[in-house]
């Protein structure tokens, strides 16, 4: 037999041709394996058959809140962009590092002078969680007032989208916030908008005819100039302002109606430092979680930092301390870089998010814990979904960015069982509303059948 024929015979007998459709079957099997969760088959079928969920990355973890028994998981060990569900970590930090009230400011009295500096408390004259405690304290003191700017993080967090600077959900961070670092506009047709704080009124002007924007107000990117676009209806809007120590001093003096002088930062002797208590902590936690307030979440980590060390305000310090002291028992390490979840650098797995929910449920009385979260059909970001005329059955924290929609929380089944769950959707291209409806359909079946 010729060598070439022998070689051909060996090749054809050693490597048989694949049967028809073999490659396609492998691809289909791989897709089915990816979508096959561990738990009830009806839940697997519900998710795998969904035309809305099939084209993006889906993760789901469901656990009995009382026993810790895992009831279902799909891609629960895979990492997702958590978005605002990261505020649950900020809550956990606050619960462990703050007391019953917010630290409003710190101060030292020296003869006829009062030196004060910030702790990161965001509530001073805030539009939604307003506190006048620091205001009344500073206004009534007989001493001369001196403000010292404690070293603090940069205005924006790592991985934030730069072009969000104009929107209410992205105010700048700072050591001594006032007015929530936003300007409020109250507009009626044929009238100049009313502006609060009034100090910004002179910086507001009609937008040029060449301006094109769907917004009511556009701020110049690097300065406090606000352009109001033409309008025919009433509206109320908020726009962040650019912060600086000089602007803070001006706003404080105009508000307090008394002089406030700057003083270079130098940490005073610790035995002379006093702390002014502010609002109860739950007033901030509730607002932060229910409406997903990014500014409150960022400032919360700064207040925690002030409790850890007196010399500066550092988000990283808080994250390191909470991770090392309280979170070493989580299933997977968390990539945690900010307080709000605005950054796409944050990464977490569904089973780790659910493990955090279990820790919260063990450590916080259930009525208090559920009262802090948005309630389905009730209030916050879940007020229009998960409805039941008989009352809430689902409480949670949503997390939404472009192409991301997640939900972590608790649901009570028809049998009265409380479940902790995390449902994560990343890289979807269908409208977020469609993903939300599909999640509601799936979790509604979980309520009925588990």
Query: Which two tokens mark 131?
Result: 């506190």
The pLDDT of residue 149 is 96
Picking from 211, 245, 278, the residue at the C-terminal end of a domain is 278
Per-residue pLDDT, averaged over 355-369, amounts to: 98
Per-residue pLDDT, averaged over 271-284, amounts to: 95
Task: Identify whether residues 217 and 355 lie together within a single domain.
Answer: no
The pLDDT of residue 36 is 63
Picking from 245, 278, 311, the residue at the C-terminal end of a domain is 278
Per-residue pLDDT, averaged over 395-417, amounts to: 97
Distance CA 78, CA 352 (A): 10
Distance CA 95, CA 231 (A): 44
Q: List Cβ neighbours of 158 (8 Å cut-off, separation of 6 or more).
A: 337, 338, 343, 345
Task: Identify whether residues 398 and 356 lie together within a single domain.
Answer: yes
Task: Identify whether residues 272 and 308 lie together within a single domain.
Answer: no
Q: Domain containing 323 — which CATH number? A: 3.40.710.10
Task: Identify whether residues 332 and 274 lie together within a single domain.
Answer: no
Task: Identify whether residues 319 and 271 lie together within a single domain.
Answer: no
Residue 109 forms part of a structural domain: yes
Mean pLDDT taken over the chain = 91
Task: Identify whether residues 56 and 132 lie together within a single domain.
Answer: no
Task: Identify whether residues 75 and 155 lie together within a single domain.
Answer: no
The pLDDT of residue 191 is 87
Task: Identify whether residues 198 and 260 lie together within a single domain.
Answer: yes
Task: Identify whether residues 157 and 268 lie together within a single domain.
Answer: yes
The pLDDT of residue 8 is 39
Residue 376 forms part of a structural domain: yes
Residue 290 forms part of a structural domain: no
Residue 24 reports pLDDT greater than 70: no
Q: Which domain holds residue 223?
A: 105-278
Residue 11 forms part of a structural domain: no
Distance CA 189, CA 235 (A): 9
Task: Identify whether residues 257 and 351 lie together within a single domain.
Answer: no
Residue 5 reports pLDDT greater than 60: no
Per-residue pLDDT, averaged over 83-97, amounts to: 98
- Cβ atoms within 10 A of the Cβ of 17, count? 7
Residue 1 forms part of a structural domain: no
What would the pLDDT profile of 173-215 be if each residue is shown by its tens digit? 999 999 999 999 999 988 889 999 999 999 999 988 877 788 8
In terms of pLDDT, which residue wins out, 284 or 231?
284
The pLDDT of residue 295 is 97
Residue 270 forms part of a structural domain: yes
What domain count does the chain have?
A: 2
Residue 71 forms part of a structural domain: yes
Residue 93 reports pLDDT greater than 60: yes
Residue 291 forms part of a structural domain: no
- Longest CA–CA span in the chain (Å) reads 112
In terms of pLDDT, which residue wins out, 3 or 358?
358
Residue 23 reports pLDDT greater than 80: no
Task: Identify whether residues 79 and 141 lie together within a single domain.
Answer: no
Residue 27 reports pLDDT greater than 60: no
| pLDDT tier at 9, thresholds 50, 70, 90 | very low
What is the three-state SS of 212-247?
A: CCCCCEEECCCCCCEEECCCCCCEEEEEECCCCHHH
56 SS3 class: coil
Task: Identify whether residues 309 and 355 lie together within a single domain.
Answer: yes
């Amino acid at each position: 037999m010729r060598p070439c024929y022998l070689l051909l015979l060996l090749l054809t007998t050693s490597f048989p041709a694949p049967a028809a459709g073999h490659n396609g079957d492998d691809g289909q099997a791989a897709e089915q394996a990816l979508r096959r969760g561990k738990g009830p088959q009806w839940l697997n079928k519900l998710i795998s058959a969904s035309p809305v969920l099939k084209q993006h990355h889906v993760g789901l973890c469901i656990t009995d809140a009382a026993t810790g028994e895992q009831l279902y998981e799909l891609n629960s060990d895979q990492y997702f962009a958590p978005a605002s569900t990261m505020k649950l970590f900020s809550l956990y930090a606050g619960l462990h590092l703050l007391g019953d009230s917010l630290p409003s400011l710190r101060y030292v009295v020296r003869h006829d002078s009062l030196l004060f500096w910030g702790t990161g408390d965001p509530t001073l004259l805030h539009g939604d969680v307003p506190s006048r405690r620091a205001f009344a304290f500073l206004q009534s003191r007989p001493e001369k007032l001196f403000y010292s700017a404690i070293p603090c993080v940069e205005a924006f967090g790592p991985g934030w989208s730069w072009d969000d600077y104009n929107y209410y959900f992205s105010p700048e961070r700072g050591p001594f916030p006032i007015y929530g670092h936003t300007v409020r506009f109250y507009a009626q047709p044929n009238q100049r908008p009313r502006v609060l704080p009034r100090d910004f009124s002179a910086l507001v002007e009609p937008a040029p005819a060449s301006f094109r924007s769907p917004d009511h107000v556009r701020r110049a990117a690097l300065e406090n100039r606000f352009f109001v676009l033409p309008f025919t209806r009433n509206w109320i809007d908020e726009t962040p302002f650019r912060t600086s120590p000089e602007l803070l001093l001006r706003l404080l003096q105009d508000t307090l109606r008394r002089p406030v002088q700057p003083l270079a930062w130098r940490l005073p002797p610790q035995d002379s430092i006093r702390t002014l208590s502010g609002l109860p902590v739950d007033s901030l936690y509730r607002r932060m979680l229910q409406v997903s307030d990014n500014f409150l979440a960022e400032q919360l980590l700064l207040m925690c930092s002030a409790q850890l060390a007196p010399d500066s305000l550092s988000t990283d310090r808080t994250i390191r301390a909470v991770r090392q002291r309280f979170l070493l028992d989580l299933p997977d390490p968390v990539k945690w870089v900010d307080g709000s979840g605005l950054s796409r650098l944050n990464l977490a797995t569904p089973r780790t998010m659910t493990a955090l929910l279990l820790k919260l449920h063990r450590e916080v009385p259930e009525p208090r814990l559920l009262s802090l979260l948005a309630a389905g059909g009730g209030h916050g970001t879940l007020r229009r979904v998960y409805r039941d005329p008989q009352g809430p059955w689902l409480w949670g924290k949503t997390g939404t960015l472009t192409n991301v929609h997640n939900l972590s929380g608790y649901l009570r089944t028809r049998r009265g069982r409380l479940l902790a769950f995390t449902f994560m959707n990343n890289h979807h291209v269908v409208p977020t509303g469609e993903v939300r409806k599909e999640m509601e359909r799936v979790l509604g079946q979980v309520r009925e059948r588990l």
